[in-house]
Structure 1
Amino acid sequence: MTERASELSDADATYVFAVCRDPDVPALAALAGVTGGTPVRPLSLGTLTAIVQTVRAGEFSDEAWQARLSDQRELERYARAHHDVVSAVATSCPTVPLPMATLYHGEQRAREALLKETDRFHTALRRIAHHSEWGLKVYTTPTAPGGTGGRSARPVSSADRSRPAPGTGLAYLDRKRTAQERRERCQEEALRAAEAVDADVSRLATASRRLPPHPQPSGERRVQILNATYLVAEHRSAELALLARTLQERTGSQIELSGPWVPYSFVGEV
């Protein structure tokens, strides 16, 4: 839906933050938006409302965004400003957030483009009404060489006693093979635990999405084995928190629950 910034003149443009139903209009005046200049305001779309702000088109040209991408602090400032408006609106009504830097050449162009998508907006609003997004990550700690990864060592069997004595070449290879088998077994157990966590939380949630695991910082021993997000009814948030604690105790995995968030992941492509 966004018009390319390069197609906009260096004049005023309409920045769209979100589309919602029955927002708290007086509260919009307190929001700074992405520029801190003109006020954030509603734009009527019939039964829906877009949350917009007038900005200088030149601030969102291709050249301006290329420069912004190389300035992490400035990029984060814009992203946070966009998110702050969306979050504030979502506190009073179901809200479909639009991507950062959704821009149109004037209110009329914005209204015409957004009206073409009203069916999709209505579908998304029905889906997310009285729901929030929650993130859930599951971690495991890999078994250290020769260790047990925090699990009890398995009993010594007759096969263990019959293995070659330490110091021989065969004993070295046998230890390497045993360590590899232990790592593989622990990894399989961790993955099964992650699948069990996802299955249980998905049963509580209205919808869920699996995301790629995040790479861990250098020196971090934990390995992320599940990164997922869930759409959960607001009245079940306490139940979700209790379930996360119960699953951590049951599986022995490290579970991190974050939220509630505006349900960005469940509004579809709008």
Structure 2
Amino acid sequence: MTECSTGTSETNATYVFAVCHTEGNPDVDGLAGVSRDGPVRCLRTGSLTAIVQTVRGADFTDEAWQTRLTDEAELERYARAHHEVVSSVAARFPTVPLPLATLYNGDERAALALAHESTRFRRALTRIAHHAEWGIKVYAPLSRSAGDDSAGERTAVPADGTGPAPGAGRAYLERKRNLQSRRERRQVDSLRLADAVDADVSRLATESRRLRPHGDGARDDHRVQVLNATYLVEGDRAAELDLLVAGLRERTGAHIEVSGPWVPYSFVGEV
């Protein structure tokens, strides 16, 4: 689902947080949402329920939103408010979160648009029911031998400084070749480590997605990220995941970070 125009800035708009599948309307009392202009409420569309809020169109014009995107603190406030509503509902019902600032020109337009995509919503809700998203990041030590770089750049010079020692050029090239070979071996080992962890966790998960590893961290962080992945895991298998990760840490010696459980944003498809 893409962001929709709110029309004129003088009108109100319907902000949609998520779509869920419930027997009745979920209790959303007390949720602040992204605006003080109206309460967070439910909007029925067929057998689905949209979690919505009435907001002022003037607060969500293209110009207003572009300004908000340049204000990191303000953008974070909106993102947190959006996520609070989504996570509160998702804790009780299968829920498809919608992107930040999904708006329609009123409830009727919102209901029509959501009903048009009802098949995709039902498919996503079936896929993520009773599941949570878990993130796993794997780091390998840089394990650079002391003096690797400097040794590769120096040539042997006699004590009197008159010129390179005999065979210095050959020794220099050999050091460079050895350094390159070590780097290549580390790269291969890192790829094998990432694949091994991903394969084991994927066997436990229902679905998985590998993301681009983050770049180097702080200068004093002597690690390199070799796996950045997210997994859709059944709710009753969380303890199994903990045991699996503990075993992988022991077996591989890698630093493995686990985050979650999260609302399965990564597994609801393009909605």
Mean Cα displacement is larger for which, 15-24 or 245-254? 15-24
Q: Pairwise mapping of residues 1-270 of structure 1 onto structure 2 (< 5 A)?
A: 1-2=1-2, 4-5=4-5, 7-22=7-22, 25=25, 27-146=27-146, 168-219=168-219, 220-270=221-271
Q: 1:257 to 1:23 in 2, by over 3 A?
A: farther
Matches of 1:166 and 1:246, distance apart in 2: 52
**C-alpha contact (below 8 Å) 1:23/1:89 kept by paired residues:** no
Work out the number of aligned pairs and report it. Answer: 254
User: Deviations along 1:45-100, whole A, 9 cap, x unmatched?
Assistant: 12110000000011111111111111000001101110000000001100000001
- What runs of 5+ residues in structure 2 fail to find an aligned partner? 149-164
Matches of 1:127 and 1:147, distance apart in 2: 52
Matches of 2:87 and 2:19, distance apart in 1: 12
For 1:213, give the aligned amino acid: P
> SS of the residue aligned with 1:28?
coil
- What runs of 5+ residues in structure 1 fail to find an aligned partner? 149-164
> SS of the residue aligned with 2:50?
strand
Q: TM-score, normalized by length of structure 1? A: 0.88
User: 1:7 Cα deviation (Å)?
Assistant: 3.0
For 1:242, give the aligned amino acid: L
User: Deviations along 1:215-268, whole A, 9 cap, x unmatched?
Assistant: 233413321111110000000011011111111211122111110000001011
Matches of 2:76 and 2:23, distance apart in 1: 26
User: 1:147 Cα deviation (Å)?
Assistant: 6.9
Q: TM-score, normalized by length of structure 2? A: 0.88
> SS of the residue aligned with 2:121?
helix
Q: 1:8 to 1:250 in 2, by over 3 A?
A: farther
Q: 1:43 to 1:248 in 2, by over 3 A?
A: same
User: Deviations along 1:86-144, whole A, 9 cap, x unmatched?
Assistant: 00000110000000100000000000000001111110010000000000111112232
**C-alpha contact (below 8 Å) 2:15/2:101 kept by paired residues:** yes
Matches of 2:25 and 2:6, distance apart in 1: 32
For 2:225, give the aligned amino acid: Q
> SS of the residue aligned with 1:217?
coil
User: 1:192 Cα deviation (Å)?
Assistant: 0.2
| Identity value in percent | 63
Matches of 1:135 and 1:24, distance apart in 2: 32
